[in-house]
Amino acid sequence: MIKVPELQQVKLYAGKLSDLERVMEYLRQRFNGATFMGYKLQNSMPVFGEINSLSDMPIRVSDIQRPGYYELIAGYRFRLSYASPKWYLLPPEHSILKVSPDYEFVDSTNNSLANKVVMFGIKSCDLNAIAVLDAILIGKHPIYTKKRSSVIAIIIEECLEPAETCFCSITGTGPTVLKGYDLAYARLDEDTVIFKAGSTLGEEIIKATGLREAVQEQVKSYYNAVERAMSIMSTRLPHLEEIQKALRRNVINEKLWKTLSEKCTGCGNCNYVCPTCFCVEIVDRVEESYTTRTALWTACCTYTYGLVAGGHFRRDLYMRYRHFILHKFLFYPKQTGGLLGCVGCGRCTTWCPLGLDLKETLVKVVEEVR
Amino acid sequence: MIRVLVAKLTSCSGCLNEVIYALTHSDIRAKYNVTYFTEVLNVDKISNAELAFIEGSITTKHQEEFLKNLRSQVEFLIALGTCALMGGVQSLRLEGNIEDVKKTIYPEPRYIDILSEVKPVDSVVKVDFAIPGCPINGDALVSFLRKYALGGLPVAIYETVCSECKRKNIPCIIVTQKSPCLGPITISGCGALCPQFGRGCYGCYGLKFFDITREKINALLDRLVELKVDEGNLKAILLAYSFKLYSKLKESRC
Amino acid sequence: MTLTKLENPFTFKRALVVNVVKEAPDTNTYIIKLNETYTANPGQFNMIYVYGLGEIPISLSNLPEHRGTYTLVNHTIRIVGAVTRAVMLHVGAGSQVGVRGPYGNGWPMREIEGRDIVIVAGGIGMAPLRPVIKYIENNRERYGRVNILYGARNPELLLYKYELNKYTVIPNTKLLLSSDIPAEGWLHYVGFVTDLINYVDVDLKNAIALVCGPEIMMKVAIKNLLKKGFKNEDIFISMERRMRCGIGVCGTCQFGHYFICKDGPVFRYSDIEEYFWVEGI
């Protein structure tokens, strides 16, 4: 978990919302032709996509998130859209190969050059999710690798107030960032923005935009807000180690998993909105004179997962629900060299149409041990 | 050329329209020879063929015989659409007495010779492949025909409308609009047609037959009732599009 | 972030099927010609692609055979699903397929040098073990005694019937066959292949076991091997799951925290013990 004192070694700068606009302008000029990607409003619903200006971003709304519930109201505390950077880095459908009937490659998917992409305003949880995807896919998955390599700058927005479904302080993935970013900002109030640099590029941005060092009062209220956010979230779940220990002890507790997944219909929404879920099916889309081998997001909670010709390795839904949870908390760390697969964003809970709460599941698993 | 028969039972011909759409593709026309299709060809005799497509559910004794004969003429039978697979909207009449149902529509009900039940095709003959939908997705049929011509079949992926919604970047309408939606328990294949336009899924592709228990359906229905939907309407919809499964689940005490 | 351009790992080699050998009513061995020098370890697999229909992971059922500019590889395929059915019905001598691989780790041929070896194969599970037998035959001095236990539901379903007898002439090698049910002319054991573990003739202090077959058969095999005195770390099994990419990116072959495609398909039993008995993990 990130400790506040660790943060205090970073120099903070203060500005207004208009300075954020200037940061964007600076980056636009510096990286001529770059595409800006981030959370944006589309038909008054936040999605993840291309941003043309600050006004595309959800800067004048707050999201209310509860299990199975999402609403936007006027405000300045936007947390997350259901969509994460995964929508860009590992698109829901992507062609991996085009083949002619005589087994010739019609068009190699690696030919086109990647654009330059600036991730703008993404949250700490999503940054951590990118690190998880990197550990699994980079250098191995051609589309992901290409898209990931196109990212030339990462600008983070830190949350100073968690949504009801958030628990990033438990997973150690937020709300603040320590590394892996160029510039981070946080909105202290409606118009005041605190900035910090995470790389040479970040320092250059701060210099070029003439941001002033934050005054002591601003520094104090920033750290207070961070601490408050963390303490709110810390009451929502037991410690990570305790959760993991309880999960390990309950792997074979079939009855428990059946109860926990009682209301799960196996729709897979949790998997799709999860910023670290990466599983894909590969299907052939046959056209008149060629076929496109297409990767499609799949979900471990759906029936397909574990199905093989002539049998099924995870026939019952509880087995797949269990895999979803165990994978996030026990298996990912072993697959990624230590990174947790859950970044505490709470999307699985907000976007479950039945309102199943991951936190509740974890608490119940821990209680089973106690 | 692969010889094909196309036939229908009690249904609206909507799926057959998709068969016609599939046949507008020149590569498919080049590989398939349709020898029976009363909506299109002036042929009224069924002859031997490799494939048969069947739309609709069985509601008369005659249809049952017709279907058995059709099956005996072909190697591979494909059931098209919700009526053939689940019963279809005509299953709604099963909630009432058959004689009363006849009376509400026909001035001379005694001429109407129908079964008191509505039977999906697979309750009478063996079905080799199923393409769900109301109507079916024409592109799914095109895909089937192309793969069959290559000697294979589409690899089955079992998922619900939610998968298609998410892959199309459509925010969940239950979660954001509090709109009732049967997506989480409905078979995929439509491409999330209704949610794309901000409307809830009404389950026309049929209830998924995997992972579903009465408890799970009720969990979703309870959630939708919270969103102020009439429970009776929901159940009527499930019965209409998923008669075969839903009636079974309703009776079972599982 | 800079990364050298990544070759598309999904491209395959065009290959020609040069011969098809009927093994059992629902099983054929395809002999495929690759126009290159191709090498693979026993127990590794290829992804076999059939145009427009899909790719399937299939283990190599023989050692790659180098013939000057090209290599012959064997794949034994049983009809189980849409793609294998298409292979069976439509792929024959002269057909093209796509091949990419080899993938996976294969059997630990180096590590087990000097050990007595018990091979336990059930049904189609013989396919990935056949190259092991060939490898040992070619390098006989490096391995100790070999016991091959092979069974199927009935004698007709045994693979490689035309060469099973030849295994018995490999020095210091014993072949025990089984059929689940009695059959006319069947002079071997009637019962499960896993029962044959009772009759192995090896130095148990120095023996290892290589097991492949249906999951239920492997479970029984492990129980019997442990009962017989084999240690957890001396049992290796080859596993199967849904598999789409072969390279650890599609996520569909996960088994606990392992990806069967890149961490397996061969696992040391002691490494997977915690998952192996958990149904549906």
Q: Is the pLDDT of residue A325 over 50?
A: yes
* Banded model confidence at residue A315, pLDDT cuts 50, 70, 90: very high
Smallest Cβ–Cβ distance between A315 and the set C80, C248, C280 belongs to C280
Q: Which pLDDT score is estimated for A3?
A: 58
Q: Which pLDDT score is estimated for A235?
A: 94
The mean-pLDDT minimum among A107-116, A308-317, B65-74, C9-18 falls in: A107-116
Residue range A331-359, pLDDT digits in tens = 999 999 999 999 999 999 999 999 999 99
Q: Is the pLDDT of residue A4 over 80?
A: no
Q: Is the pLDDT of residue B132 over 70?
A: yes
Q: Which residues of B touch A281 (CB under 8 A)?
A: 157
Q: Which residues of A touch C249 (CB under 8 A)?
A: 136-137, 140-141, 144, 278, 280
CA atoms within 13 A on the CB side of A131: 20
Q: Which pLDDT score is estimated for A7?
A: 62
State whether residue A267 sits within 8 Å of chain B by CB.
Answer: yes
d(CA B229, CA B201): 13
User: How many percent of chain A have pLDDT more than 90?
Assistant: 92
The mean-pLDDT minimum among A114-128, A283-297, C80-94, C209-223 falls in: C80-94
Q: Is the pLDDT of residue A56 over 70?
A: yes
Residue range A187-227, pLDDT digits in tens = 999 999 999 999 999 999 999 999 999 999 999 999 999 99
Which positions ≥6 away from A29 have C-beta within 8 Å?
none
Measured CB to CB, residues of chain B less than 8 Å from chain A are: 25-27, 143, 146-147, 150, 155-160, 162-163, 166-169, 171-172, 174-176, 181, 183-185, 208, 210-212, 215-216, 219-220, 223
The mean-pLDDT minimum among A126-135, A341-350, B116-125 falls in: B116-125
Q: Is the pLDDT of residue A9 over 50?
A: yes
**CB spacing of B159 vs A298 below 8 angstroms:** yes
Q: Is the pLDDT of residue C5 over 90?
A: no
Q: Which pLDDT score is estimated for B251?
A: 67
Q: What is the DSSP string of B108-173?
A: SGGG----SS-B-GGGTS--SEEE-BTTB-HHHHHHHHHHHHTT--PPP---BHHHHHHHTT---H
Q: Which pLDDT score is estimated for B253?
A: 45
Residues belonging to chain A: 370
User: How many percent of chain A have pLDDT more than 70?
Assistant: 96
Q: Which residues of A touch B212 (CB under 8 A)?
A: 265
Residue range B180-238, pLDDT digits in tens = 999 999 999 999 999 999 999 999 999 999 999 989 999 999 999 988 888 888 888 88
Q: Which residues of A touch C9 (CB under 8 A)?
A: 140, 142
What is the token pair recorded at A235?
A: 């009451």
Calculate the CA dihedral of residues C269, C272, C277, C281 and round it to 10 degrees: -150
State whether residue C52 sits within 8 Å of chain B by CB.
Answer: yes
* Banded model confidence at residue B254, pLDDT cuts 50, 70, 90: very low
State whether residue A141 sits within 8 Å of chain C by CB.
Answer: yes
List, in sequence order, every residue forming a beta bridge with A187; answer none if it has no partner.
A193
Average pLDDT, chain C: 94
Q: Which pLDDT score is estimated for A66?
A: 97
Mean pLDDT score, A94-109: 87
**CB spacing of A92 vs B159 below 8 angstroms:** no
d(CA B21, CA A269): 32
d(CA B45, CA B91): 29
Q: Suggest the residue from C26, C83, C281 to mutate for an interface test with chain A (most A CBs closer than 10 A).
A: C281
Q: Which pLDDT score is estimated for A2?
A: 53
What is the token pair recorded at B230?
A: 């009439």
Q: Is the pLDDT of residue A74 over 70?
A: yes
